[in-house]
Structure 1
Amino acid sequence: MIRQRFSPPWWARNPHIQTILPVLTKVDRPRLERERLELDDGDFIDLDWQGQPKSGQVIVVIVHGLEGSSDSHYARRILAACKTQKLCAVVHHHRSCSGELNRLVRGYHSGDTQDIHATLTQLKQRFPDSPLLAVGYSLGGNVLIKYQGEQQDNSLIERAVAISAPLHLAACAKRLEKGFSKVYQSYLIKQLQQKMIGKISTPSLKNLMPISQTEIEHLTTFHAFDDQITAPLHGFNGVDDYYHRASGLPYLSQIQKPTLVIHAKDDPFMTHAVIPSSEQLAEQVEYELHDNGGHVGFIDGGTPWRPRYYIENRILSFLTSHLNQPENTTC
């Protein structure tokens, strides 16, 4: 377990500054090309590409967090870092997160590895010589950890990084019901509610929804939302079953491909329940625990108007450090 690699400036030691300031100081939006993948169940996944790989060049797959997208602050920054290092990158959008509601009543959830596997399979079929590297943020990090543990040596990802992953979902849901963390919960729940109301307003989906619009509007916590919507829509027997089966923590011991996990002790979305013991870590898992960093923050310098970040360089250093890249790395 690694500590103290990251140290924030004096003005960014508060976890809420670490969490909120990145949202307010986004880097410029990158130019991306959208591709739609049709799924076997009749739904779709949207991918946003930055460049196209030449033969044998690596592809960095970016998996966003809850209600995120390629427009999220962390996605913009890792895309910019990939461009600087001439690495091709693609953002995998969870269903309904690319700006358009998905076609089915089901959506996405913290343990949904089916969709990322579909994306990775498509990429591997089209670019068989290109190593797939992946980084997941928050919910996306939990998805990657679970995928790596499920697939073990069969994982299509050569190396992976998980940032601020809620590896113990029940504990994280309780944490978000306390103190200032309720602000984050309210912000995200409102987005989820709007999507569910959008599905109720879709004639072909209305009768498949397990709940009415009025009832949706009264779901003000993740625990309630996951119990009344997430669990029944995705085949779980209630919220406890969902949290148990979807949490990434038990999968850390099963991972057989190099994987880096980064957490901050002061993450306002989490408790220490997400922190694994050394016995829970497979040999291929490298774990970084920092005293500060907030939730997907990790500001390590700059100014409040132009903050500088720790995680982009760390992510790409880990992902590419053991790969033999072609001489021409231009994407």
Structure 2
Amino acid sequence: MMPKELKQVWDGYYSQRAWRELDYYYPTETVICQLILALVLLLLTRYLLRPSARNRFELYTDYHSPIIDQTNQHSLRSIIHKHCPSLVGPRAYFSPTPWLFSGHLQTIYSAFGNFTKIDQVEYERRIIRVPDGGQIALDFTPPNRFSNQNDPTPTLVVLHGLTGGSHESYVRSVVAPLTQKFGWRAVVANFRGCAGAQLTSQKLYNAGATEDIRLIIQYLTTILCPLTPLHAIGFSLGANVLAKYLGEEADRTLIRSAVVVGNPWDLYSGHCFLESNFLGRIYSRALASNLRALMTRHLKVFKARSSPIDVHALFSNPCQSLYEFDSIVTRALGRFGSTEAYYKSQSSTLVVESVRVPLLSINALDDPIVTPDAVPVESVLENPYLVVLVTKHGGHLGWFEGLWRPKRMIDRPIIEWLRAMNQAIQINSSSPLDHTLSEPSPQTPDIQVLSVRKLGHPNASSEEVSGTIQGL
């Protein structure tokens, strides 16, 4: 045999041997399956991220929106189109994280995800005593930025969810960029007994209690920072409180614009919605569990003989629903005739048509806690100051996008709205939107500052009661 032929035989032998060894370690069927799986995943990813999967926002505004800019030439609607690209236009869409494709997953991730290293905010806490003897914890950021009464820096007042606080990730997702990137200030008004604050009276908070936010606004505008333009945002239960306050105050409010996120709007409809399905009842009991944990921390206050609460009934049922908690605690403390009367009388949908400042409402249709039927879409026809944004996905205070490290999308339209409203709204006494910022209000509240201290960087893991699942 010729050397050339020997070489061909030799090469063929080792070539076949190499393929046999390769097939032994990596069977052909396995390789083919892996290639098919990779192709399927690639096609699925492209399908989920296709332009049509980017759920377009549904924005509801009145065509005859009010004139609010300094030149008296631009309406609220035109300002939104010009300065809020995340609300209208090509950028007005939401592509949810592929593995957070339902409202339940978005809500659960917002409750149990680790956000401790994201949107870190340093607060300074002031404990104030209000006329009824109760205490409220106000968390200010950036620290030491509220010492100058003549500082005209715009300030955002924040109301959190059911048993949350300034540490919540949904709060920090707006506060951090607004204060650190755009130079604003922020005040988180923690509800009584929340975020590590002591409860010193038997007056708690509820979804319709607006007395405290009214006192806080007066304190800010008459004592602490009388020259600052105030804006406000509320999340979940705090959204209902804020919307109800704005409706009650109408054109008397000192707030210049506001945002409500995940607002239940109609509390009775929300109760019926939660009790109408199995998962809703699970959420209801989770919310009640967090409220009982809050009550446990302040149990001494409610063990007094004068307390209207049946403490034994409160803790006798570990599977208590939100309705049952409200029947034992909220109804008694608020002196409502019934739990249904509480729900029906404290809903912000009753007064939304009286709001006289630009108000942006944001809700998701797949919110497992808030029924979409309660979103006041038709109210924009009765109130030109109301703008309603509805997304197909997002869950309850979720709206996570991105693949590996999901981040909230909703902070973009919120910040665009706040900055646009602050820039546009005229400051003179001729408009019902405005108030004279140069002179303090004569109604100075009887408020005493008890302490001032730095909190550092609080986060959800440092609180006994945390997570957004409690934020109805």
Give TM-score scaled by structure 2 length: 0.65
Q: Go from structure 1 to structure 2 and tell me whether the alpha carbon gap of 1:214 and 1:87 turns closer, same or farther (over 3 Å shift).
A: same
**Correspondence 1:184-223 to 2 at 5 A:** 184-202=283-301, 205-218=304-317, 220-223=320-323
Contact kept in structure 2, 1:60 and 1:132, CA below 8 Å: yes
Contact kept in structure 1, 2:247 and 2:351, CA below 8 Å: yes
Q: Secondary structure at the match of 2:387?
A: strand
The one-letter code of the counterpart of 2:267 is L
* 1:200, distance to aligned residue in structure 2 (A): 4.0
Instruction: Give me the whole-angstrom Cα distance separating, in 2, the residues matched to 1:28 and 1:110.
Output: 27
Instruction: Give me the whole-angstrom Cα distance separating, in 2, the residues matched to 1:207 and 1:196.
Output: 16
Provide Cα deviations, 1:62-109, integer angstroms capped at 9, x if missing partner.
110100101111012112122222211111000011213411112100
Moved over 3 A (4+): 3-6, 197-207, 214-217
Contact kept in structure 2, 1:200 and 1:213, CA below 8 Å: no
Q: Which residue of 1 aligns with 2:355?
A: 255
* 1:136, distance to aligned residue in structure 2 (A): 0.3
Q: Which residue of 2 aligns with 1:297?
A: 398
Instruction: Give me the whole-angstrom Cα distance separating, in 2, the residues matched to 1:206 and 1:294.
Output: 42
Q: Secondary structure at the match of 2:278?
A: coil
Instruction: Give me the whole-angstrom Cα distance separating, in 2, the residues matched to 1:76 and 1:37.
Output: 22
| 1:151 maps to 2:246 | no
* 1:36, distance to aligned residue in structure 2 (A): 0.9
Contact kept in structure 2, 1:6 and 1:298, CA below 8 Å: no
| 1:230 maps to 2:330 | yes
Contact kept in structure 1, 2:193 and 2:199, CA below 8 Å: yes
Q: Which residue of 2 aligns with 1:264?
A: 364
Q: Which residue of 2 aligns with 1:6?
A: 93
Question: Root-mean-square deviation (CA), in Å?
Answer: 2.1
Deviates more, 1:25-34 or 1:210-219: 210-219
* 1:133, distance to aligned residue in structure 2 (A): 0.7
Return the match for 1:113 from 193, 210, 233: 210
Provide Cα deviations, 1:269-302, integer angstroms capped at 9, x if missing partner.
0223312242465110111111111101112x22
Q: Which residue of 1 aligns with 2:135?
A: 44
Instruction: Give me the whole-angstrom Cα distance separating, in 2, the residues matched to 1:202 and 1:149.
Output: 32
The one-letter code of the counterpart of 2:103 is P
Q: Secondary structure at the match of 1:288?
A: strand
Q: Go from structure 1 to structure 2 and tell me whether the alpha carbon gap of 1:203 and 1:189 turns closer, same or farther (over 3 Å shift).
A: closer
Give TM-score scaled by structure 1 length: 0.91
Provide Cα deviations, 1:22-80, integer angstroms capped at 9, x if missing partner.
33131254211101111000001101111225611110111101001011110121121
List gaps (5 residues or longer) in structure 2: 1-57, 61-86, 425-472
Instruction: Give me the whole-angstrom Cα distance separating, in 2, the residues matched to 1:245 and 1:49.
Output: 32
**Correspondence 1:86-125 to 2 at 5 A:** 86-125=183-222
Instruction: Give me the whole-angstrom Cα distance separating, in 2, the residues matched to 1:110 and 1:86.
Output: 31
Provide Cα deviations, 1:203-238, integer angstroms capped at 9, x if missing partner.
773541421334433271111111221011012111
Instruction: Give me the whole-angstrom Cα distance separating, in 2, the residues matched to 1:143 and 1:269.
Output: 17
Instruction: Give me the whole-angstrom Cα distance separating, in 2, the residues matched to 1:203 and 1:69.
Output: 22
Contact kept in structure 1, 2:264 and 2:270, CA below 8 Å: yes
Q: Secondary structure at the match of 2:233?
A: strand
Instruction: Give me the whole-angstrom Cα distance separating, in 2, the residues matched to 1:270 and 1:244.
Output: 15
Q: Secondary structure at the match of 2:351?
A: helix
Instruction: Give me the whole-angstrom Cα distance separating, in 2, the residues matched to 1:276 and 1:316.
Output: 22
**Correspondence 1:269-280 to 2 at 5 A:** 269-279=369-379
Instruction: Give me the whole-angstrom Cα distance separating, in 1, the residues matched to 2:358 and 2:186.
Output: 19
Q: Which residue of 2 aligns with 1:329?
A: none
Instruction: Give me the whole-angstrom Cα distance separating, in 1, the residues matched to 2:406 and 2:299.
Output: 41
Contact kept in structure 1, 2:192 and 2:204, CA below 8 Å: yes
Contact kept in structure 2, 1:199 and 1:205, CA below 8 Å: no
Q: Go from structure 1 to structure 2 and tell me whether the alpha carbon gap of 1:60 and 1:203 turns closer, same or farther (over 3 Å shift).
A: closer
Q: Secondary structure at the match of 1:16?
A: helix
Contact kept in structure 2, 1:50 and 1:88, CA below 8 Å: yes
Q: Which residue of 2 aligns with 1:328?
A: none
The one-letter code of the counterpart of 1:195 is L
| 1:79 maps to 2:166 | no
* 1:172, distance to aligned residue in structure 2 (A): 1.3
The one-letter code of the counterpart of 1:313 is R
The one-letter code of the counterpart of 2:322 is F
Q: Go from structure 1 to structure 2 and tell me whether the alpha carbon gap of 1:267 and 1:204 turns closer, same or farther (over 3 Å shift).
A: closer
Instruction: Give me the whole-angstrom Cα distance separating, in 1, the residues matched to 2:379 and 2:417.
Output: 22
